[in-house]
Structure 1
């Protein structure tokens, strides 16, 4: 299994694409095409693979509507919602990093 709990977290949300997908889903359900537009750098194959893995891990829900053409919507599951604070902290830290507002090495930031 896992030696450290953070390994389990990284197994589920690790990597560039899964985190971005989850970030976008925190704003509400999205269709595959919406996610592709929000993350233009990801290939369709990679998006599909990452969505499948997140669904298998129980982090997102996939709903297929019986219509023509088929409509598929992804949203955070209850387990996925429990990741919201983690994603929020990652976004906040990234914003501060981008703006250069993090303490320098050795600086306590106080």
Structure 2
């Protein structure tokens, strides 16, 4: 019989964050480089603007995404992965290979 183990709180919290709908796709899209809000929305068209705003704010709060304001005329805002976000993106990257092999 297998011994029952409780998950470590940090593991459980990590899956709570990345397991939310759209979060993985947002991280995947940003793994190719900084994007403006509209660019992210175009790449994930089924994601509503309201939900995109909510998920980006959550990812910012967790230090995964950084909001970067470019002070030119017109003022632009871009989103990019932090160091922590890049590390997470590297872990999520192999999902593309799995999807191409098994989700066709």
Shared fold per TM-score greater than 0.5? yes
Between 15-24 and 86-95, the greater mean CA deviation after superposition: 86-95
Number of equivalenced pairs: 98
Match of 1:18 in 2: 23
- CA RMSD, 1 decimal: 1.8
* Corresponding residue to 1:54 among 49, 54, 59: 59
> Displacement of 1:10 after TM fit?
1.3
Normalised TM-score (structure 2): 0.83
> Displacement of 1:72 after TM fit?
0.8
Distance, in Å, in 1 between the alignment partners of 2:56 and 2:46 is: 15
Normalised TM-score (structure 1): 0.79
